[in-house]
Chains A and B, each alone.
Chain A
């Protein structure tokens, strides 16, 4: 790739990070929690976006960032107070800056009307306190560029220049070097340099860090004055500099010395460090590197296969009757230990804080609030919670929809809220935390709660339920997940984008997660997503059923038990319930579910009590428990269709494939079959 193109990509990646940091800071400013470091960070972010943008010629972006930055600079210097009005404008400006970046990334230019209004608002803000225009920035500067004569009209310029240059000590203190300047002058034209030693005191009073030398330089040729001034640009103010056209008679000069041999180096005493071979590679420690995800995935796959190979090897060794305590056994133990560590480390590469998804939500909420004329505050918690990147990537859509739903359906208008005795501003809370080896993400609002009567009416209208159906509150709430359900009386342009909560639930279930809803009339609703931390491995219990081996996800297992005859009760047509300490749970043989012949009867087997969040418990009968392992999840759906009751496959230590049971699916199916048998669910 063209190096500049590569840097441009870096720039856009960096912009993403900077925009997120900026937004985070702006939200802190809005909530009044910002200290000067936060404001500085926001300023830096906008400044860096502008700086890089300039390098690639994104003029509109730079122009906008500049106006934005100016306001932030006032905020930083305290000439502008961060009140609510200002914070709102800044947040809007942040969104528009993000739009500019996106446009630049797409090779487009943002339409002028897109940022006109916000530009005006920003300009109003920076004009607010007055006297802070560009000229104000020049105050207190003591190095003004020398006044330049109109060179082109000056015939003397055709001849050349006579330059008197007398450095002050400050020039050396800033590590400027007169000899280099003289050398650079020589690149402009023919030079004749004479040293002015008139300031040199007696040797015994010479101070090493004082400047005693001065030079008179005659520069011949047709050279523009500003070229010469450019050479001295860095030292203006730290020296006497007099540039005169050549015909002016040269002042009397004392004995001349060649500057090249007599260049004063007062700093030598300070000891310039010896130049050594420097290592270009000795870059400062970086906090992150960017790696192509494909490379990580390849690594994850390889490690997965390595784990399987190791398990197979262990099994072969065991088959050869080599004891675990032998040197070979020790080596295998060590290998197993290292592999597990390797596997964990590799999986950790893929984890990311949910922040990257959560960060997109504040803007969404602002836009929704504006569209619905509601006042909304978004509270974000636990955004540092880490989860596998594949999970993160697929979280955005369901979360977006849930937030839309919360603002659009959940929250009331400010008037309604006021009438209900609530603060006008509604709160939507988005949180994430690790719980039991999974990540739980919640979206809650303090709105009106689910209107159950309306939901029920709608469900009947849509023939989703019978008019006579007796449903619990929870069951009514769950109706909103049914395909084709929408509570909005008219399709609004926010929630009515063709996706319903049924799609949200499907997305979540596809990720191996679950979604539940809790709602209280007048005080709000809460959606909880429970998701696996990674889609690549799971802790499973390996069980035998007939001649087959299955894996049950450990996260769903409550306990395993040996059933007693008196605990098993026949129920309905050929079905059974198991009494687990007073609660009756449907009892199902895995062999029956999976169509396996020759498996043990319930009393001869082991019962594993599993639970599916939301749908309840199930007692599964298997022949025996073979062990617990972390297994690598292998999907076969690319090569085969989905199988009811099977979540995925894995490869066991003997190299054979075992199927991973889909507990949620099984529980749901078995319980609905029982419900068909007109049985009230138990054990929930």
Chain B
């Protein structure tokens, strides 16, 4: 889905951008359900370090992923100033722990560049493209791939 939208250069897309570590990331606004302050999670046994555990979101048990750790940049030490971005991708709902949400970005698909080949690190798997605007570089993440990586075999390997 993402490749197709990127190629269609005239389509305008909106992203919520947020900071995690020293980077700025963007997630398609259509996937974002809400943004919550950090609350203590219930740890999951045998979970990889980037799975912070689960929280209760109005009756739904929501796994929370530490974005920084997921992208292989070390674990976040969360405090109440951190936020959890609730993302719905397909049938799955997950929470993303990030440092702070910055703003809403409107770009045309043409502003998004494909991932540079050299980015063969842990985050490449989830990067949909790079949006460059006025000296800002926002890494657009695929929420679908992030959520899907929590279910099934992919996670076991990552762990």
Contacts and interface: CB of A to CB of B under 8 A. Distances in A.
A641 interface: yes
A643 B46 CA distance: 8
Contacts of B9: none
A548 interface: yes
A636 B40 contact: no
A259 interface: no
A304 B40 CA distance: 22
A638 B59 contact: no
Interface stretch (B27-35, B67-75, B86-94): B86-94
Contacts of A447: none
Contacts of B45: 593-596, 643, 645-646, 659
A641 B46 CA distance: 11
B93 A301 contact: no
A1 B147 CA distance: 39
Nearest to A301: B59
Interface stretch (A198-206, A461-469, A527-535, A649-657): A649-657
B151 A657 contact: no
A634 B59 CA distance: 8
A308 interface: yes
B42 interface: yes
A658 interface: yes
A595 B61 contact: no
Given A649-B61, A657-B61, A641 B156 contact: yes
A138 interface: no
Contacts of B92: 638-639
Given A305-B59, A634-B59, A636-B54, A548 B43 contact: yes
A651 B62 CA distance: 11
- Most central of B59, B93, B147 by chain A CB within 10 Å: B59
Interface in A619-668: 634-641, 643-646, 649, 651, 655-659
B150 A651 contact: no
A636 B56 contact: no
Contacts of B62: 636, 639
Contact of A640 (B44, B58, B59): B44
Contacts of A644: 46
Contact of A595 (B42, B46, B63): B46
A110 B152 CA distance: 44
Interface in A265-310: 301, 304-305, 308
B118 interface: no
Given A594-B45, A658-B42, A659-B44, A641 B59 contact: no
A640 B151 contact: yes
Contacts of A595: 45-46
B47 to A, nearest CB: 8
Nearest to A648: B61
A644 B47 CA distance: 11
B87 to A, nearest CB: 10
A578 to B, nearest CB: 22
B58 A305 contact: yes
B60 interface: yes
Nearest to B156: A641
Interface in B75-96: 91-94
A627 to B, nearest CB: 17
Interface in B1-51: 40-47, 51
Contacts of A640: 44, 51, 54, 63, 150-151
B61 A651 contact: yes
Contact of A649 (B40, B54, B58, B91): B54
A294 B91 CA distance: 17
B159 to A, nearest CB: 10
B46 to A, nearest CB: 6
Given A548-B42, A593-B45, A639-B62, A651 B93 contact: no
B61 A641 contact: no
Contacts of A641: 150-152, 155-156
B61 A636 contact: yes
B46 A639 contact: no
Contact of B93 (A549, A639, A645, A657): A639
Contacts of B152: 641
A190 to B, nearest CB: 73
B63 A651 contact: no
B98 interface: no
Nearest to B44: A643
B112 interface: no
A646 B60 CA distance: 17
Nearest to B42: A657
A657 B150 contact: no
Nearest to B51: A640
A549 B42 CA distance: 8
Nearest to A654: B56
A640 B62 CA distance: 8
A549 B54 CA distance: 13
B97 interface: no
Contact of A638 (B44, B91, B155): B91
A639 B41 CA distance: 15
Contacts of A651: 56, 59, 61
Interface string A537-576: 0000000000011000000000000000000000000000
Nearest to B65: A640
B46 A657 contact: no
Contact of B55 (A305, A308, A646, A657): A657
A645 B46 CA distance: 10
B56 A639 contact: no
A568 to B, nearest CB: 24
Contacts of A634: 59-61
Contacts of A645: 45
A251 B43 CA distance: 105
Given A634-B59, A645-B45, A651-B59, A639 B40 contact: no
A32 to B, nearest CB: 53
B75 to A, nearest CB: 16
A656 B61 contact: no
Nearest to B40: A656
Nearest to B93: A639
A639 B61 contact: yes
Given A649-B54, A651-B56, A636 B63 contact: yes
Contact of B150 (A304, A308, A639, A656): A639
A167 B63 CA distance: 84
Nearest to A593: B45
Interface of A: 301, 304-305, 308, 548-549, 593-596, 634-641, 643-646, 649, 651, 655-659
For the complex of A and B, the 8 pairs showing the least CB-CB separation, nearest first, are A594-B45, A636-B61, A657-B42, A640-B63, A649-B61, A305-B59, A634-B61, A657-B54
Interface of B: 40-47, 51, 53-56, 58-63, 91-94, 147, 150-152, 155-156
20 contacts: A308-B59, A548-B43, A549-B42, A593-B45, A594-B46, A634-B60, A636-B61, A638-B92, A639-B94, A639-B150, A639-B151, A640-B63, A640-B150, A641-B150, A641-B151, A644-B46, A646-B44, A657-B41, A657-B53, A659-B42
Given A639-B60, A639-B94, A657-B54, 19 more contacts: A593-B45, A594-B45, A638-B92, A639-B61, A639-B63, A639-B147, A640-B44, A641-B150, A641-B155, A643-B45, A643-B46, A643-B47, A646-B45, A649-B42, A649-B54, A655-B56, A656-B40, A657-B42, A659-B42
